[in-house]
Amino acid sequence: MKKIIYPLMLLVTLTFNFNFAYAANDQPKTELTAEQRAELSRITSRVEEIKSMDKSNLSKDERKALRKELKEMKKKAKAIGGGVYLSVGAIIIIILLLILIL
């Protein structure tokens, strides 16, 4: 019985993973509003400014603050871009539910 269940679970898992990856690429791009474009350009210019900075003379706390700022800007840029993201925990729960149903 185990010889049949394990390959079947692997097949189902791989099938759903490929479908999620394929569906993520087919989502239509939404147009950004003028406010969103302005925010995105502000974030981009700030990132370029940080990249061009000489960080060798900064203290440890200043470098830490820059990293934190970059992470926050990355989150904002992703939020502006939109999209649906599935966490690893959500995928595991979906798989467990499918196993229990089947």
Alpha helices for the chain (secondary structure H): 2-25, 34-52, 60-81, 88-101
So what's the pLDDT on residue 17? 58
Dist. CA 87–CA 30, nearest whole Å: 23
pLDDT for 16 equals 64
Q: Supply the pTM of this predicted model.
A: 0.48
pLDDT < 70 positions in the chain: 14-30, 82-85
